[in-house]
Structure 1
Amino acid sequence: MDPHHAKAAAGAGGLSLRERKKRQTRQRISDVATGLFAARGFDKVTVAEVAEAAEVSTMTVFNHFARKEDLFLDRIPEALDLFTRAVRERRPGESPAAPVRRLVLELADARHPLGGLGDTFPAFWRVVLDSPALRARVREAVEEMEDALTAAVAESTGAAPGDPRPRLTAALVVTAYRTVCGTAVARLLAGERADDVAPGHREFTGTTFDALEEALRVLGGPDRAGPA
């Protein structure tokens, strides 16, 4: 879907040949689909057309992607993995916000698509904004992220069943992430360059997560402490 896939592929050296081929096929399908969606619009391209252009069967497409929207929003699994691992593996004594702050800044500095900063990203977001189906899938992904982080917070803090604080913590963390990245994307869509947006993005990320840390301090309870 973007130049960063080369980096991801480089990190897959420990995979079996079969798994590498599966990933390569998945990536090829997504890249072909992204090109078609960008050229014609998401809603005007069928899965059959994607399959034909990628030289695979429609069944193969659905073996790799549960739904058409995931052909374009193919980084949802990666996002879930990155953010939940950050929360589960945070340093002792840290709140769940601290590792997410670091992750967001690292992603932005690397111009990773999940970091919100990149000169090629406006084209991607215009396709999303033009498609009701993609916008709905983004909203679903936000819910999936909140569910996954709720489980990560509850597991890593030993919260009692029924304790509402892991859910509230997860919702606040996801809202902070969406807000800082959404603000950066809005500036990119308005025509600013990523390098010009970056300083303000870092500052706003810091301010936002400082406020989140204070909110979690007031919230208190087991969600405040990191893993033992």
Structure 2
Amino acid sequence: MAKRGDRGGSKTRAHIAAVATELFVERGFEDVTVAEIGAAAGVSKVTVFSHFERKEDLALDRLPDAVGIARAVVRERPNGVGVVEAFRRAGIALAEEQHPLSGLSQAGEPLARTVAGSRALISRLREFEHEIEAELTDELESDPRFSGDSELVAALIVAAYRVVAVATTRRRLAGDDLTAVVAAHRDRLDRAFTALSEVFPS
């Protein structure tokens, strides 16, 4: 995945994303322009696009973190631990800390509602699913400890996590009890990845 230049540094990027998120939550994604975001953040429209390829990425600025996490899971897994099992453990760990990528973050709920109400953002998430699948496939292809079907394993890992995270987010937005949602999230992750690891143990 190509990365844009980081003019002004990561702090500027984070500031722009925070300002954008506030505006999106307040007014809705479609009703905020990139020029307005730049003005509110004290930077030019050009600077905004030097950090983010598209407007949707301003709202979904945590997506690159998912790629980094996926690569780290593969590279840093202990010897003797299969890729699928490593992702099961990582998914449980994200749930325990209520990481935004788990769908369990209470702080991320306003933005989650904004995303759920925007066709453009939902479309971007679906596009990203293919992007991270390709990234994970490449990572598995280059991993000397992995000998399975890289494309198939990557697709199943991404699909399993997406199904659980989306269901969790929907329950959170519906106002379900957090303790029950967390328990269900962990249980579904555990069952899904345990089943996959029996078929793809390497």
Moved more, 28-37 or 201-210: 201-210
1:57 match: 44
Alignment pair present for 1:111 and 2:101? no
Distance 1:31 1:84 in 2: 26
Counterpart of 1:8 in structure 2 is none
- 1:175 maps to which residue? 159
Aligned ranges 1:206-225 → 2 under 5 Å:
206-217=190-201, 224=202
Q: Given that residues 102 and 165 in structure 2 are in contact (C-alpha distance below 8 angstroms), is that contact kept between their aligned partners in structure 1?
A: yes
The superposition leaves residues 148-187 of structure 1 with CA deviations (integer Å, 9 ceiling, x where unpaired) of 1101111114779xx8x10000000101111221221121
User: Scaled by the length of structure 2, what TM-score is found?
Assistant: 0.90
The amino acid of 2:160's aligned partner reads A
CA distance in 1, matches of 2:192, 2:50: 39
Task: Give the drift of 1:215.
Answer: 2.8
1:156 aligned counterpart, secondary structure = coil
What does residue 26 of structure 1 align with?
A: 13
C-alpha separation between the residues in 2 aligned to 1:86 and 1:146?
Answer: 14
Q: Aligned pairs, how many? A: 197
Query: In 2, are the aligned partners of 1:169 and 1:216 still within 8 Å (CA)?
Result: yes
Structure 2 residue matching 1:91: 3-state secondary structure = coil
Partner of 2:132: 145
Decide which moves more: 103-112 or 29-38: 103-112
Identity of aligned residues (%): 41
Query: 2:3 aligns to what?
Result: none
Structure 2 CA distance, aligned partners of 1:77 and 1:119? 21
Deviation at 1:139, TM superposition (A): 0.9
Q: How high is the TM-score relative to the length of structure 1?
A: 0.80
Contact 2:88 2:194 (8 Å CA) reproduced: no
What's the CA shift string for 1:47-91, capped at 9, x where partnerless?
000000001111110111111111010011111011111112222
Contact 1:117 1:185 in 2 (8 A): yes
Q: Extract structure 1 runs of 4+ deviating beyond 6 A.
A: none
| Structure 1 segments unaligned to the other structure (5+ residues) | 1-18, 218-223
Deviation, 1:134, is 0.8
Q: What is the CA-CA distance between 1:105 and the residue it aligns to?
A: 1.2
From 107, 118, 123, give the equivalent of 2:110.
123
- Counterpart residue identity of residue 194, structure 1: L
Determine which of 156, 179, 200 is the counterpart of 2:143. 156
Partners of 2:29 and 2:114 within 8 A in 1: yes
| Structure 2, gaps ≥5 residues long | 1-5
Which segment drifts farther, 86-95 or 168-177?
A: 86-95
User: Using the alignment, how far apart are the partners of 1:66 and 1:121 within structure 2?
Assistant: 22
Deviation at 1:207, TM superposition (A): 0.8
Match of 1:91 in 2: 78
- 3-state SS, counterpart of residue 74 of structure 1: coil
Partner of 2:67: 80
How much does 1:188 deviate? 0.5
Q: Which of the two has higher C-alpha Rg?
A: 1
Instruction: Tell me, yes or no, if structure 1 residue 189 matches structure 2 residue 176.
Output: no
Give per-residue Cα distances to partners, 1:21-53, cap 9 Å, x unaligned.
611111110000001001111011000000000
